[in-house]
């Protein structure tokens, strides 16, 4: 496992000024929000994530994806955790999400020491942050003080999450609706440097012809890589099979994802689209050649993601159990 990257002084100063500007619009979020009420909260979350990752290297990817799916549907309010018919969690679009048990473990540990104090929304954001660090990525400070949402509706999922066959314009529109820029889109797509995906998320990019031979459908995908994917997904159990998002360094949070895009080995159509369009290609090339730049930009974009549509102050609640409202 690569050692975690720490930003240099100039990067830290830049990030501090950037975060300060963000916090002016979310005055009820702050760094060390729980310093007086539950000083061990962040430690407990980090320790839970590290422990889980040491026994299962797929955990970081699952926790990072969980945050994306939470924040993109009615904001970062842990509504994706609520169980029951008709909830976000029950929607087929969220069927492959994982990491729920890690959030529950962290919440249970915190509740013992600090009952009814730390929100599940903060735990989801902190766990995703710590997942990146556990996978060798940058150490990012994020503000806390989020509150938990009181509703979760499956009908809100599909109109908000990004499908793997989206065009670049569709992705830009989706990110823009959350207050995220085209740079945030390219940088946060770097989350695909870890994690794994089911075959049905990308197997429409190739097929077997009538004679059983490989046939490439999506020309933006490297031919040999596509054939390798097809062979992996040809099993009768393909519906349950997963393939690493990054074929080179699947458990390390690095900038290999962007180098993969340069060689046309982006797993999803949405990945390849970043390299095929002039609006994003230059950014991909810059991040592919400069890992430090990727880490700095990741730190900024990740904080922005974690602050999408947050509930603060008296809005929402602090759930006692993350899977149900109080």
Kindly list the catalytic residues.
69
- State how far the Cα of 45 lies from the Cα of 47, in Å rounded to an integer: 5
- State how far the Cα of 129 lies from the Cα of 207, in Å rounded to an integer: 37
Which two three-digit tokens encode residue 284? 């991909």
- State how far the Cα of 313 lies from the Cα of 137, in Å rounded to an integer: 32
Q: Strand runs (DSSP E) across 19-137, as ranges? A: none
CA distances from 206 to 41, 196, 217, 246, 318 (A): 46, 19, 5, 18, 46
- Of 280, 230, 243, 229, nearest to 258 by C-alpha is 280
Under 8 Å between Cβ of 65 and 161: no
- State how far the Cα of 115 lies from the Cα of 107, in Å rounded to an integer: 9
- State how far the Cα of 26 lies from the Cα of 134, in Å rounded to an integer: 28
- Of 156, 158, 173, nearest to 270 by C-alpha is 173
Which two three-digit tokens encode residue 170? 């569709």
């Amino acid at each position: 496992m690569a050692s975690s990257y720490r930003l240099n002084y100039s990067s830290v100063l830049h990030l501090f000024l950037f975060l300060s500007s963000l916090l002016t619009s979310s005055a009820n979020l702050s760094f060390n929000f729980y310093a007086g009420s539950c000083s061990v909260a962040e430690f407990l979350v980090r320790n839970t994530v590290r422990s889980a990752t040491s026994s299962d290297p797929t955990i970081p990817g699952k926790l990072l994806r969980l945050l994306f799916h939470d924040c993109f549907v009615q904001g970062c309010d842990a509504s994706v955790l609520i169980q029951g018919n008709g909830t976000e969690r029950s929607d087929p679009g969220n069927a492959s999400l994982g990491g729920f048990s890690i959030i529950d473990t962290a919440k249970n540990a915190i509740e013992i020491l600090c009952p009814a104090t730390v929100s599940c929304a903060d735990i989801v954001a902190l766990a995703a942050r710590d997942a990146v660090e556990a996978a060798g990525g940058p150490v990012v400070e994020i503000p806390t003080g989020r509150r938990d949402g009181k509703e979760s509706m499956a009908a809100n999922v599909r109109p908000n999450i990004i499908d793997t066959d989206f065009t670049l314009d569709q992705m830009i529109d989706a990110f823009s609706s959350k207050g995220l820029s085209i740079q945030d889109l390219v940088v946060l797509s770097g989350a695909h440097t870890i994690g794994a995906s089911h075959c049905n998320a990308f197997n429409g990019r190739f097929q077997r012809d009538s004679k059983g031979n490989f046939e490439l459908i999506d020309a933006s995908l490297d031919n040999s890589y596509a054939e390798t994917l097809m062979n992996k997904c040809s099993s009768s159990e393909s519906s349950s099979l997963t393939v690493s998002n990054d074929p080179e360094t699947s458990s390390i949070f690095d900038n290999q994802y962007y180098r993969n895009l340069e060689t046309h080995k982006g797993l999803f159509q949405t990945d390849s689209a970043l390299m095929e369009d002039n609006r994003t290609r230059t950014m991909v090339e810059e991040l592919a050649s400069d890992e430090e730049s990727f880490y700095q930009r990741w730190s900024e974009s990740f904080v922005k993601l974690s602050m999408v549509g947050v509930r603060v102050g008296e809005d929402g609640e602090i759930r006692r159990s993350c899977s149900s409202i109080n």
